[in-house]
């Protein structure tokens, strides 16, 4: 019988709440992974019991057959040491490379039976704290089995430049402080989930969305905010140019849909005023659910996304639009240029940015990220004339819209399906697993420099440390517990840390008095489930509970 191939993660790939790009991407990836089912089981290590229970419910609801077959095991992060020590994992894949990946690699090096690949995907890369987070990737414990998965050429270049900047700034050599590899695998969609509507279905959808029957519907989908993803003003200016050239704005309908923050109502009023000033019909759809989103894509004629904000790295909504057979007018920016083939699946409008960001770099760590993103985006110009020209061609030429929409859907089916994305990850994980790891013993001894060594750092706080200079024996309360006449208090958060059976053994071993470290060593020898550290923890914990006491001479 073969050893099971196990996939694992620290992240909740399924999340409830608002429809946002990161959540959609993570769920789409997991759908394809479960559909392909290349592993014997899938382990999820959540931050808390509550999050564990939520993830269990979401997985069971979305994949009932897999759940019934016992394919999922959902635990907490506190279960990691035992799981890593007792299980050979094929890979740990994280939904985001930022927060946990280097710390997980450190835990693997110290605790795991095998040096398995650790990978994580890029999403937004522009938050001010990310320099610090990427610095954690540069440490001697990084191996050839660690990789960051960049979703676009632009994202790949950003990660590489961040690492280069950190090396220069901190004087870190690649030999002493290696970085994880950078692989490029895009995000994807399931083309079967997307389609253009026609006939009565299209008429009904447009009526439900408030789109006039004969208007050319321009769809913008994403967070509706001038400081996130795209400033819509260049689009309004492009429509003004079209109007000046003789196109009636009333022949169009701009549909803007997506997430709106609680304090975003003032911006919505600004958009309504801009549209009214031009005479452009405007439909605003805030916080649409998944069904409403598909209805909007099916009812639209042209998809527009003029990204100008470094928060955007890939452009999942462009894939969704192309899968729905919509031609795309987008900015020539970030990952968009990986997706749109100019002149075939849509148009890319040139963008122009500043040669340097100056004070923004200094202020960013001291300010809110949305303030930084707003100012950075306002220093990036989308070519309004090019946007107007592209829209003009598509608005006036129904045949071109159909041709580009069909070409876009074909491109998605050929290159950007979630099944292809998962296949690419499987190939990556196989290559990483085959990478040499020359000094496993050396890896075991390495501590991550960003991790606090609490015992050493706070060694001066207690008045003394457990040693053989301290002789311990069972107390009256300890004797009562041993005889089942009293019970220790084990807090919920310590359920996996304290073994009631080991406590009884400890009390028995202490009955005649014993030096502290020797007592812990005898406990570890008597309880195979406890290593030296766990045995010492039991000793001090029992002293805290007054189950043990210091011998008096």
The listed CATH number (3.40.50.10800, 3.40.50.2000, 2.40.37.10, 3.30.930.10) that belongs to domain 191-354+380-413: 3.40.50.2000
What pLDDT score does 18 carry? 66
Burial profile 444-477: b = 16 or more Cβ within 10 angstroms, e = fewer? eeeebeeeeeeeeeeeeeeeeebeeebbbbbbeb
Q: What is the DSSP string of 215-236?
A: SEEEEEES---TTTT--SHHHH
What pLDDT score does 529 carry? 86
DSSP symbol at 277: H
Count of CB atoms within 10 A of residue 32's CB? 19
What pLDDT score does 198 carry? 92
- First-last CA distance in the chain: 59
Bridge partners, 303 (sequence order): 219, 328
Q: Mean pLDDT throughout 505-531?
A: 95
Judge if 6-188+423-445 and 191-354+380-413 fold alike in CATH terms.
yes
**Phi then psi dihedrals of residue 41, to 5 deg:** -160, 165
Q: Mean pLDDT throughout 253-273?
A: 89
What pLDDT score does 1 carry? 36
Distance between CA atoms of 361 and 365, rounded to whole angstroms?
Answer: 8
Bridge partners, 72 (sequence order): 42
Is residue 2 predicted with pLDDT exceeding 60? no
Residue tagged 């998605």 (tokens): 412
Q: What is the pLDDT of residues 329-349, one digit of tens each?
A: 999 999 999 999 999 999 999
Q: What is the mean pLDDT of the chain?
A: 94
Is residue 423 predicted with pLDDT exceeding 70? yes
Burial profile 175-196: b = 16 or more Cβ within 10 angstroms, e = fewer? eebbbbbbbbbbbbbbbeebeb
Which residue ranges make up each domain of the chain?
6-188+423-445, 191-354+380-413, 454-550
Fold of 6-188+423-445: Rossmann fold (3.40.50)
């Amino acid at each position: 019988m073969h050893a099971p191939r196990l996939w694992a993660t620290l992240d909740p790939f399924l999340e409830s709440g608002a429809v946002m790009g990161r959540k959609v991407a993570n769920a789409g990836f997991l759908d394809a992974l479960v559909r392909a089912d290349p592993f014997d089981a899938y382990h999820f290590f959540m931050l808390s019991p509550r999050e564990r229970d939520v993830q269990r419910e979401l997985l069971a609801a979305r994949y009932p057959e897999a759940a019934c077959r016992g394919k999922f095991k959902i635990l907490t992060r506190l279960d990691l040491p035992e799981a890593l020590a007792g299980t050979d994992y094929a890979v740990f894949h994280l939904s985001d490379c930022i927060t946990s990946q280097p710390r997980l690699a450190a835990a693997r090096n110290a605790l795991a039976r095998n040096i398995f690949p650790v990978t994580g995907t890029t999403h937004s890369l522009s938050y001010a704290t990310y320099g610090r987070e990427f610095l954690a990737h540069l440490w001697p414990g990084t191996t050839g089995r660690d990789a960051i998965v960049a979703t676009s050429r632009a994202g790949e270049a950003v990660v590489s430049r961040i690492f280069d900047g950190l090396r220069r700034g901190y004087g870190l050599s690649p030999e002493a402080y290696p970085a994880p590899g950078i692989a490029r695998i895009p995000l994807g969609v399931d083309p079967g989930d997307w389609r253009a509507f026609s006939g009565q279905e299209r008429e009904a959808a447009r009526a439900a969305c408030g789109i006039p029957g004969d208007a050319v519907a321009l769809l913008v989908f994403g967070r509706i905010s001038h400081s996130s993803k795209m400033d819509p003003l260049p689009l309004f200016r492009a429509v003004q140019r079209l109007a000046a050239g003789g196109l009636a704005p009333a022949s169009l309908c701009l549909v803007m849909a997506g997430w709106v923050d609680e304090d975003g109502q003032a911006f919505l009023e600004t958009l309504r005023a801009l549209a009214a000033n031009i005479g452009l019909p405007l439909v605003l759809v805030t916080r649409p659910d998944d069904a409403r989103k598909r209805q909007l894509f099916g009812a639209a004629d042209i998809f527009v996304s003029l990204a100008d904000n470094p928060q955007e790295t890939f452009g999942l909504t462009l894939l969704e639009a192309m899968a729905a057979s919509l031609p795309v007018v987008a900015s020539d920016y970030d990952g968009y240029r990986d997706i749109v083939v100019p002149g075939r699946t849509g148009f890319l409008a040139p963008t122009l940015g500043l040669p340097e960001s100056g004070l923004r770099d200094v202020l960013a760590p001291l300010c809110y990220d949305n303030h930084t993103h707003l100012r950075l985006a306002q220093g990036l110009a989308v070519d309004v004339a090019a946007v107007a020209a592209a829209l003009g061609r598509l608005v006036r030429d129904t045949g071109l819209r159909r041709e580009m929409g069909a070409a876009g859907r074909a491109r998605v089916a050929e290159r950007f399906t979630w099944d292809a994305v998962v296949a690419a990850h499987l190939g990556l994980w196989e290559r990483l697993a085959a990478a040499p790891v020359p000094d496993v013993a050396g890896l075991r001894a390495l501590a991550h420099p960003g991790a606090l060594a609490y015992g050493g750092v706070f060694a001066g706080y207690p008045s003394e440390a457990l040693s053989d200079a301290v002789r311990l024996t069972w107390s009256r309360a300890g004797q009562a517990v041993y005889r089942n006449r009293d019970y220790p208090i084990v807090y919920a958060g310590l359920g996996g840390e304290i073994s009631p059976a080991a406590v009884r053994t400890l009390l028995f071993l202490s009955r005649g008095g014993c030096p502290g470290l020797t007592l812990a060593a005898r406990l570890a020898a008597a309880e195979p489930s406890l290593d030296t550290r766990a045995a010492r923890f039991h000793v001090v914990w029992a002293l805290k509970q007054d189950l043990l006491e210091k011998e008096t001479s």
